[in-house]
Amino acid sequence: MAGKILVLGATGTVGTPLVKALVAKGEKMKAASRAGKPVESAEGVAFDFADPSTFAPAFDGVDRAYVLLPGGNVAITELLLPVIEAAAARKVKVVFQSVFGVDADDGIPYRQVEIALEKSGTPYVVLRPNWFSDNFRTYWKAGIDHGRIAVPAGEGKSSFIDVRDIAESAAAALTTSRFDGKAFNLTGPQALSYAEAAKIVSDAIGKPVAYEAVSDETFIGILTGAGVPNDYAAFLASIFYPVREGWTSAVTPDVETLTGKPPRSVETYVRDNTAALKA
Ligand SMILES: NC(=O)c1ccc[n+]([C@@H]2O[C@H](COP(=O)([O-])OP(=O)(O)OC[C@H]3O[C@@H](n4cnc5c(N)ncnc54)[C@H](OP(=O)(O)O)[C@@H]3O)[C@@H](O)[C@H]2O)c1
């Protein structure tokens, strides 16, 4: 494969380790963000989901693309389908970062994007990661600072995944055609409840962190109080329903299939990020 790889969200949670993994493989990249700044040794390019005039310059010279929708967006099909179309029109291979479990129902917006990609005729790989271990450093960090993780997860368990494993899975999917035309459900090695995860964080940072199972309404109130827009807060609350039902507890071999290595545990994630979790 001679062309460049377009990486969307290149300065974000998954994009940052993905750019590193692709640099390590010697790949040429266009690291996309609205700011368009270079990332690591990769060339930067300006790309904005809200501005389709940025698509053609971003896809110029590209034969593969990592497509993800940045967090905070609820207009899933509206924002992603035009990008899938732009890639398919150029026969660019798409590795699409979807969401664990969306194949349960073809009406789910992320599943609709997967179906459009499958039908587009362009080569593709779908990656469906489970809840990120990294959310403890991003979304749940303010709560951890106050000694509690308050989410509407009930007693449900999730096989949390380290974004380094998503990035390495993505790098594998982008750099070989062996996995084309397939979907992979990416999980960590073990399902944990939020109480169990809170205990791991608490032990590592040396201060109490309790899990509090809250209602959707309380959760939305906490998020909007912290400045999260109401529609995204409501979206986040809605995706805890599958957690309470136990549907996010499955453990799959898919990271190892893609990377040749078992995925990292929450303990490993927390050990490697203790300074950030304490800060
Ligand atoms: N968190 C989880 O537990 C979880 C689990 C499964 C799946 N997912 C899925 O993963 C995706 C999010 O991945 P992520 O957390 O890696 O993303 P992220 O960190 O939120 O993405 C931020 C990146 O996107 C860029 N960006 C922001 N707004 C943009 C726009 N309008 N146009 C173009 N680029 C923009 C940012 O740079 P600029 O600000 O400079 O533009 C930055 O590079 C979502 O689809 C989510 O549903 C998340």
Q: Which of 40, 28, 24 is nearest to 3 (CA)?
A: 28
One domain for residues 205 and 89: no
When divided into structural domains, the chain yields a total of 2
208 CA from centroid of ligand 1 (Å): 30
CATH of the domain at 77: 3.40.50.720
One domain for residues 201 and 76: no
Q: Which residue has the tokens 């362009």?
A: 122
- Residue 37 counted as domain residue: yes
35 CA from centroid of ligand 1 (Å): 14
- Residue 77 counted as domain residue: yes
136 CA from centroid of ligand 1 (Å): 16
- Residue 168 counted as domain residue: no
- Residue 15 counted as domain residue: yes
CA dihedral 133, 236, 202, 129 (to 10 degrees): -10
Q: What digits encode the pLDDT tens for the residues 157-192?
A: 999 999 999 999 999 999 999 999 999 999 999 999
Q: What digits encode the pLDDT tens for the residues 13-57?
A: 999 999 999 999 999 999 999 999 999 899 999 999 999 999 999
Pocket of ligand 1 (CB under 6 A): 9-15, 33-35, 47-50, 68-71, 97, 99-100, 129, 131-132, 135
Residue nearest to atom 22 of ligand 1 (CA): 12
Question: What pLDDT, on the 0 to 100 scale, is given for residue 1?
Answer: 61
One domain for residues 79 and 153: no
**Domain range spanning residue 55?**
4-129
- Residue 120 counted as domain residue: yes
pTM of the model: 0.98
One domain for residues 78 and 68: yes
One domain for residues 153 and 274: yes
- Residue 259 counted as domain residue: no
Residue 73 backbone phi and psi in degrees, to 5? -105, 130
Q: Give yes or no for residue 210 having a pLDDT over 70.
A: yes
CATH of the domain at 221: 3.90.25.10
Question: What pLDDT, on the 0 to 100 scale, is given for residue 2?
Answer: 77
Q: Give yes or no for residue 98 having a pLDDT over 70.
A: yes
Q: How far is residue 242's CA from residue 29's CA, in Å, rounded to a whole number?
A: 36
Q: Looking at residue 245, what DSSP letter applies?
A: T
Contact of 119 with 255, CB cutoff 8 Å: no
Q: Tell me the CA distances in angstroms from 236 to 17, 212, 225, 275, one per residue in order.
A: 24, 16, 14, 27
- Residue 256 counted as domain residue: no
One domain for residues 114 and 14: yes
Q: What digits encode the pLDDT tens for the residues 232-248?
A: 999 999 999 999 999 99
One domain for residues 224 and 245: yes
One domain for residues 118 and 64: yes
One domain for residues 124 and 191: no
One domain for residues 136 and 205: yes
**E strands present in the chain:** 4-7, 29-33, 43-46, 62-67, 93-97, 124-129, 148-151, 157-158, 182-186, 192-193, 210-213
One domain for residues 49 and 98: yes
- Residue 244 counted as domain residue: yes
Q: Is 126 helix (H, G, I), strand (E, B) or coil?
A: strand
One domain for residues 105 and 199: no
